[in-house]
Amino acid sequence: MIGRSLRLYRDAYRGLPAPVWLLGGVMLINRSGTMVLPYLTLYLTQHLHYSVTEAGMVMAVYGAGALVGTFLGGRLSDQFGFYPIQFFSLLISGFFLIFLQFAHNFYTMCGVVFVYTLLGDAFRPAVSSAIAYYSVPENRTRAYSLNRLAINLGWSLGGGLGGYLAGIDYRLLFWVDGLTCIVAAGVLRAYLPVPDRSVAATNETERPAEGSSSAYRDRLFLIFVGATILFAIGFWQLFSMAPLYFKQVLHLKETEIGLLMTMNGLMIVFTEMALVYAVEKRYARLKGIIIAFGALLVGLSYLLLNAGFWPFLAVISVFINTFGEMLAMPFMQSFTVERATSQNRGQYLALYSMAYAVAQITAPAIGSQVVAGAGFPMLWLLVMGLCAVSASLFWWVAMQVKKTGLKRPNPPQWTS
């Protein structure tokens, strides 16, 4: 049994190209320094003495910058290639992070935050395009899982170190966060092979079945993006309203809530790669169903909180939520890449990333309004409904892909 488990873990990591591992290392360096975002609200209110309303407006500007950045990152990646977008996004955003500590005026702060997030989030579709370029269809989903592993491991390390540095001096957060961006840019420039775009273009000249050269005219994909927004609004409650519920209703301490969030990250770090490998190996033609099932699990994890006021329900809820996340998200990103061609991949990945940016902005607003007006039980019912609708849409898209197919050398096999 132990030997079989060890072989599963070994096989899950086997066969990934060296550039994919390097991109994971770059992401780990970058995310290990992610300290400003988790503590930005505290910095604004406690160090700069902003009002809660002003701090909220700065965070809204942060979300707006992320939305614009993902859009531009995708378009620019298609036009100039993912390599320069990754490099300059990391490098310039690092300098803006360092400069952010010197912005004290409210309007200056909003301007710098917007530019920083615009530059920083342009990195997302670019790195996703890079992973698609350096991987092959047989290991692409695992390549994205490795990237998620690096992100979550980095977040865990950065969040803990950030709390320690904030206790010493908030300004240290900006220096460390900015310098890790610059170091990540240097590692990428020094070691990542420069892509041959002509090879990529000759390898992928065919278009999706609809014949559209633009992601914005791909009807099935736009429906998929809509389903992703609904799913992400539900998923983001884990980081917005769920901690408040754990504190106010289940009476958990801040340290206990922190452990729950750590559990989420550690589950992804230690199990997602093996889980994705096992599921993809056994159910390769059922990816659409897997995504739909993962979305339903996320919804059920919140609905479970209406079962009572037992504190251990929080542990079960986060466990189910994370399991659903691990089933859904890697395959969602894999489908996005396989739906595109090398010429418009940035557009597709930008739209996919923008779905999460939209959800990141709207999820706290929706959640807080529902809780204020109808209470937490109604919010969990609403989230279950959103996830159920998204699962239905994912299923419908899978059925349409099965009917129409993708006239591509390696079409994504969603259903049997």
Core vs surface per residue 363-390: b (16+ CB within 10 A) or e = bbebbeebbeeeebeebbbbbbebbbbb
Is there a domain that residue 240 lies in?
Answer: yes
pLDDT at 115 over 60: yes
Of residues 126 and 408, more confidence is placed in 126
CB of 132 within 8 A of CB of 410?
no
Phi, then psi, of 298 in degrees rounded to 5: -60, -45
Band the pLDDT of 247: cuts 50, 70, 90: confident
* Nearby residues of 20 by Cβ (< 8 Å), 6 or more positions away: 131, 134, 135, 139, 143, 146, 147
Pair 358, 295 in one domain: yes
Residue 210: the pLDDT is 45
At residue 407 the predicted structure's pLDDT band, cuts being 50, 70 and 90, is very low
* 200 lies in some domain: no
> Looking at the domain assignment, is residue 415 inside a domain?
no
The residue from 128, 163, 195 where one domain ends is: 195
- DSSP code string of 229-296: HHHHHHHGGGTTHHHHHHHHTS---HHHHHHHHHHHHHHHHHHHHHHHHHHHHH-TT-HHHHHHHHHH
Q: At what angle do helices 82-100 and 106-121 cross, to 10 degrees?
A: 160
The answer to whether the CB of 258 falls within 8 A of the CB of 361 is no
Question: How far is C-alpha 326 from the chain's CA centre?
Answer: 11
Residue 412 has what pLDDT?
A: 42
> Do 254 and 302 belong together in one domain?
yes
Distances (CA, A) of 211 to 205, 286, 308, 320, 342: 12, 25, 51, 39, 15
For residue 396, give both structure tokens: 């419908």
Please enumerate in sequence order all residues whose Cβ is within 8 A of that of 138, keeping only pairs 6 or more positions apart, or say none: 15
Higher-pLDDT residue of 7 and 25 is 25
Q: Confirm whether 208 is domain-assigned.
A: no
- Same structural domain, 229 and 164: no
Residue whose tokens read 């809204």 = 60
As a whole number, the mean pLDDT across the chain is: 86
Mean pLDDT value across residues 204-228: 74
- Do 237 and 324 belong to one domain? yes
Phi, psi of 71 (to 5 degrees): -65, -50
Percent of the chain with pLDDT over 90: 44
Q: Which residue has the higher pLDDT, 209 or 216?
A: 216
Res. 332: pLDDT tops 90? yes
- At 405 the pLDDT is 62
* Whole-number pLDDT of residue 302: 97
Residue 415 has pLDDT above 60, yes or no: no
CA atoms within 13 A on the CB side of 285: 4
Is the pLDDT score of 125 beyond 50?
A: yes
Which residue do the tokens 């917007």 mark? Answer: 114
- Position with higher pLDDT, 156 vs 176: 176
Same domain, 148 and 238: no
Asked if the model's pLDDT at residue 328 lies above 90, the reply is: yes
Task: Give the pLDDT confidence of 36-60 residue by residue, as tens digits.
Answer: 877 787 788 888 988 877 887 888 8
Let me know if residue 90 belongs to a domain. Answer: yes
DSSP letter for 170, please: T
pTM: 0.80
Domain span holding position 391: 215-406
- What's the pLDDT score for residue 202? 44
Q: What is the tens place of the pLDDT at every residue in 80-112?
A: 999 999 999 999 999 999 999 999 999 999 999
The answer on 230 and 191 residing in a single domain is no
The number of distinct structural domains making up the chain is: 2
**180 or 203: whose pLDDT is higher?**
180
DSSP 196: -
Domain closes at, from 141, 163, 195: 195
Over its C-alpha atoms, the chain yields an Rg (Å, rounded) of 21
Amino acid, res. 303? L
Which of 165, 195, 225 marks a domain boundary? Answer: 195
What confidence tens digit (pLDDT) does each residue in 371-394 have? Answer: 989 999 999 999 999 999 999 999
Report pLDDT for 167: 81
More confident site: 381 or 156: 381
Structure tokens at 401: 């892909």
Using one digit for the tens of pLDDT, what is the confidence trace for 249-304?
999 887 788 788 888 888 998 899 989 888 888 876 788 899 999 999 999 999 99
CA gap 406, 401 in Å, rounded: 7
Same domain, residue pair 375 and 317: yes
Residue 202 lies in a domain: no
Q: Are residues 98 and 58 in the same domain?
A: yes
Q: And the tokens for 139? A: 């290991």
Report which residue type is found at 84.
P
Site of tokens 């240290």: 172
**pLDDT score for 190:** 93
CA distance 70 to 358: 11
Are residues 115 and 226 both part of a single domain? no
Q: Are residues 248 and 372 in the same domain?
A: yes
Does residue 44 sit in the same domain as residue 183? yes
With respect to residue 210, please indicate whether it lies within any of the assigned structural domains: no
* List of residues 6+ apart from 159 with CB closer than 8 A: 34, 35, 38
pLDDT at 209: 42
The verdict on 185 and 235 lying in the same domain is: no
Residue 296 maps to which CATH number? 1.20.1250.20
- 254 within domain boundaries: yes
pLDDT per position as a tens digit, 349-376:
989 989 998 988 888 888 888 998 999 9
Question: pLDDT at position 40, please?
Answer: 83
